[in-house]
Structure 1
Amino acid sequence: MSSDVLVSRPHFDSRAVAQGVPETEPHVRPEVPQPASGSATAGYRTAKYTPAEWFSNYHTILQQAGTDRREANSIQRESKSLYQDAETATLKTQAEGTRLLGERLQDIHCSRSELQRHIAQLLTDTHALLAQKTKLEKALDATETPYAIATDNLNCRARRPGPDLVRDSVEEELLKEVHLIRSVQALLKRTTAQVVSQIKMNREAKQTLELDWSDKYQAYNFDDHSGRYSNMSPDTRHHPSSATMQDQVCNSIAWTKFTEDNLTKALQEEHATSSLRMLVERVLQDTTDDLRHQCSCVDRAFSQRCVELIEAKTQLEMKLAQILEQIGAQERNIVALQEAIHNKEAPLRVAQSRLYLRSLRPNMELCRDEPQLSLEGEVRQIDATLACLQQQLSEARGSLSHLEESRVAVEKDINCKTHSLFIERDKCMTHRKRYPSISSLLGY
């Protein structure tokens, strides 16, 4: 017989290991001295149980096994119900998330489509404003030609001869035209500045919409990709921190208001652009009509002035012809008077010679007889006639001098009218034929 001491087997709890409960130290029963079983076992320790203990231990194991089995069945039923409920809830939650992602995709798509429509409208409006800006610049450049024409007309008319240097209707209309052109140029510059400012605001609004559209494009792609994830997707991973609420994240109301504010701003710029485009067209049309109307007024004034100059020149030429004819007649009259005076010298010499010879008569023969009285009367008559002829000759010569002065004055005035007519008709009116057309003034 072996002399080793028999000890009981240590207790091992398999349930605790299966449930992950730390293993506890086995309960060690205190050694109880067993009664001696005779001289054969004298001097030896024994670890044997009694039959009662064996039966007790056996029944305890059976009871514990039954209890464990019932507890396991209960846990299995609870676990099955739990994972079934969890699976159902998870699938329901996942389906709800997928549905919400789909609705979100529709919202993003609608917002993105609206943004894209306004972006295209702003782009169209900006291109239209750029075209109108070009028209305004061309119209502004076109006004330089009528301004140069009007100022050149004023400078040319300032070189008119003295008698014709008058402030007539032509000059008043030209001054009105210069003032109108300056006002039109200032208006076109202000309108161009408004167009440039509106183009800048349109581009800013368009850039804001494009940034919002780009963000929504990325968000749509992300949500679309997220909606395509399934439990069988191989590219899903754990991201524990993604479920953490972020302070800087906006809510749906703020998201909607942000896009609505951007669209409202874009709509305001579209309305402003539409109003400005109508204003530009009206400004171009009105300024063109005003310039062409004033040009017509100036042309009519020039035509009227040319008619007046031609009429005055014609009357002066007719008067000059009359004066020249009168000068010729007066010159012939002077010649006739001179001849008449010359013709009176011989009769006067005869009469005076007769009187002289008769004055030599002696004594009583020197009497005032009829011949004497006749000769004296003849001499007096001839002297009176000569005096009248001399007076008439003097007046005729004075008249001839006045006629010559009138002729010079009329000729000078005719030359003045001719020069003025050359300035008005051949220089100014010819230069005004270069006046810009309606299409040029409209900016085409």
Structure 2
Amino acid sequence: MASGEPNKMDCPYICPESGIPQEKQKEYLQAGMSRVENPHASPYVPGRIVPPPPRIYPPGAPPKYLPQPTDSTSGDILGMGPVGPWAAGHVDWTPQAGMTGVRPVVDKYSITRYSTGEWRKNNQYILTPRATDKAKAAEAQTKKDLDDAFNNIRNKGDDTNNKLQKRIKDLKSWQAKVEKMVQAITDETMTLDQYRARLKGACRILMMPEAISKECLELRTNRYEPDLVRDDAEQELIKEVAIVGEIRRVFLETLAKVEVQMEKNKAAKVSIEFDWSDKMVSLKLDRQNLSMTPESNLILYHPGVARWPENATTLEYWEHYCSESLRNCEEVRKESEDLRGDLMTAIIKGGQDMKIQADRTNEALAEAISATEQMCEHLEANLKENLQKTADIENLIDHLKDSLRKIDESCKLSMTRLHTRNYDRPGVENCRDEAQYALIAEHKAIKETAESLNNKVREAETIRCELMKYRGDLEKEIACKRKSLLIDQDRCSRVRAHMPSPEEFASG
């Protein structure tokens, strides 16, 4: 390397031995204070040490421990040189100040590392309240965030309370509807149970007309043979028994339907009561939640509750379920109400049919009784006439017999006369004279008359026998009719007087 050329390995900004280009010297002087000749630099020359010029600080300058406008960022040039008896050191404070080989010279008293300007800057840095400002800013921000957070929480809480109030209002509305439906289905179940009791009572009451009809039929079998006829009364009684059987069949079918409907009503009542109970529990819980505040004594930590439970449903499904529950219960109640109408129709119509048939049967019995009474009256009149005729015929027979006895006397007289004349007259005197012809004619007339009277007696006896037989027939018929009247008028009418009315059927 030539002696006149600078060493490229030497630092052109720090080492004073190396030659510094003119351009770099200008940049260096612009970066720091201009160098002045240090009077304290060695070698020492007596009389050259003069007091330093006073530092002039502009008005309004900050305190001396804070950075001044006259401070340099490149360091101060000390009065002593870098080497000498004092060796105070000389350092240019540049961005390379921390590099090895550019440290200040250390003597036995101190080490100079920082400039006064850097010391003041350090003071300013230390005195600058960064943490305090951060604390104040953090405090203000935290207070603002807390206010915002509490306002947000308060708004959320108010919104939640409003939603809870709306939910409570909805629950109260649905709960009122469900409670009304519970009362309606309960009343309907009780009413249907009363109607069921009526129907059972009607079935029990139906046994009476059936027993009455069967007893009347059985009683009429005790009539005597001439009156064992299938008259209108008998036909109406048979119809009455058939109608009673049909009414019982309808009653039993309706009762079976009522039993099924009672099960439906109870199931619907249980379902709607469960719904009402759930709504009451939910309403109680929501009211309790609405009344809770952060100062409440019942609040606790419950980790993991901020999630949807497994059995949670949607609001649309909840509304659908509530409406469907009410609709199903209303349908069951309507079915029960319609069945009650059918039940009462069956009871009322059945009772009316029974009444109509009973009236027809009673009318037929009344006609039969009237006809039997009329027949009995005619039979009694005929019996009276028969008895009178029998008496008359008997008197006639007695008269005929008396007449025959008289004729017998006349016959004996004529026969005696003829015998005397035929066998007592002598000889020629026994002739056929007119007297003889008259006696013969008389005897013939008497015999003919006696024969005729005997025929008349026989005829009268025959008539008397016929009258006696007819009397027996009349008496038998009268007894038969009396028996029929006793059965129809006395027994059947008394039994049928207990025939239940439609009102009794309806009342159960």
**TM-score (normalizing by structure 1):** 0.84
Correspondence for 1:59 among 121, 125, 135? 121
Pairing 1:137–2:212 present:
no
Number of the residue aligned with 2:487: 423
Q: In the alignment, does 2:450 pair up with 1:386? A: yes
Q: Please report the RMSD computed on the Cα atoms of aligned residues, expressed in angstroms.
A: 2.6
Q: Aligned ranges for residues 156-235 of structure 1 at < 5 Å?
A: 156-235=219-298
Partners in 2 of 1:232 and 1:159 — Cα distance? 97
Does residue 1:303 correspond to 2:366, yes or no?
yes
> 1:233 Cα shift?
3.5
CA contact (8 A) 2:106 2:112 kept: no
Range moving further from structure 2, 81-90 or 197-206:
81-90
Amino acid at match of 2:488: E
**Conserved 8 A contact 2:198-2:507:** yes
C-alpha distance in 2, partners of 1:36/1:124? 112
Is the counterpart of residue 344 in structure 1 residue 397 in structure 2? Answer: no
Structure 1: which amino acid aligns with 2:112?
T
Residue 157 of structure 1 aligns to which amino acid in structure 2?
Answer: R
Match of 2:382 among 292, 296, 319: 319
Could you say if the C-alpha distance between residues 220 and 61 of structure 1 is closer, same or farther in structure 2, counting changes exceeding 3 Å? farther
Residue in 2 that maps onto 1:330:
393
Residue 499 (structure 2) aligned to one of 410, 420, 435: 435
Which moved further from structure 2: 64-73 or 285-294?
A: 64-73
Instruction: Give the distance between the partners of 1:422 and 1:232, measured in 2 at CA.
Output: 97
Q: Distance in 2 between matches of 1:235 and 1:331?
A: 126
Report the CA distance between 1:160 and its aligned residue.
0.4
- The CA deviation at 1:299 is 1.8
SS of residue paired to 1:383? helix
Equivalent residues, number = 408
Alpha-carbon separation, structure 1, partners of 2:238 and 2:99:
136
Shift of residue 120 of structure 1? 0.8
1:401 aligns with 2:465: yes
Give the Å deviation of 1:30.
11
CA distance in 1, matches of 2:99, 2:299: 59
Report the structure number with the largest CA radius of gyration. Answer: 2
My pick for the range that moved more, 77-86 or 419-428, is 77-86
Contact 1:105 1:224 (8 Å CA) reproduced = yes
Q: How many Å apart are 1:36 and its aligned residue?
A: 6.2
Could you say if the C-alpha distance between residues 231 and 357 of structure 1 is closer, same or farther in structure 2, counting changes exceeding 3 Å? Answer: closer
Residues 138 and 440 of structure 1 are in contact (CA less than 8 Å); yes or no, is this contact kept in structure 2? no
Q: 1:103-125 CA distances to partner (integer Å, 9 max, x unpaired)?
A: 11101110111111111111111
Kindly state the Cα deviation for residue 83 of structure 1 after the two structures are TM-superposed: 3.6
> Of residues 368, 371, 376 in structure 1, which corresponds to 2:440?
376
Instruction: Name the amino acid aligned to 2:482.
Output: T
Contact 2:240 2:354 in 1 (8 A): yes
**Structure 2, gaps ≥5 residues long:** 1-97
**Matched position secondary structure for 2:293:** coil
1:213/1:30 CA distance change after superposition, 3 Å: farther
Deviation at 1:238, TM superposition (A): 3.0
Q: How far apart are the structure 2 equivalents of 1:441 and 1:414? A: 41
- Decide whether aligned partners of structure 1 residues 204 and 65 sit closer, same or farther in structure 2, where only a CA change above 3 A counts: farther
- The 8 Å contact of residues 133 and 192 in structure 1, kept in 2 or not, is answered as yes
> Aligned partners of 2:179, 2:392: CA distance in 1, in Å?
98
- What's the CA shift string for 1:211-259, capped at 9, x where partnerless? 1111111111211122223344454333331112334311111111111
In structure 2, the partner of 1:122 is: 185
Match of 2:322 in 1: 259
3-state SS of 2:460 partner: helix
Equivalent pair of 2:372/2:481 in contact (CA under 8 Å):
yes
Contact 1:134–1:443 (CA<8 Å) still a contact in 2? no
Question: Which structure features the higher share of helix residues?
Answer: 1
Structure 2 distance, partners of 1:62, 1:233, is 53
CA distance in 1, matches of 2:194, 2:135: 86
Higher relative contact order (CA 8 A, sep 6+): 1
Aligned equivalents of 1:188, 1:285: Cα separation in 2? 11
**In structure 2, do the counterparts of structure 1 residues 36 and 320 end up closer, same or farther at CA, with 3 Å as the change threshold?**
closer
Distance (whole Å) between structure 2 residues aligned to residue 211 and residue 80 of structure 1: 50
Partner of 1:5 in structure 2?
A: none
Are the structure 2 counterparts of residues 350 and 237 from structure 1 closer, same or farther at C-alpha, using a change threshold of 3 Å? closer
Distance 1:370 1:229 in 2: 164
C-alpha separation between the residues in 1 aligned to 2:263 and 2:127?
87
- Structure 2: distance between partners of 1:235 and 1:357: 163
C-alpha contact 1:137 1:443 (8 A) present in aligned 2: no
Matched residue type, 1:436: P
Amino acid at match of 2:218: N
- Report if the CA contact (8 A) 1:115-1:263 is conserved: yes
After TM superposition, the score normalised by the length of structure 2 is 0.74
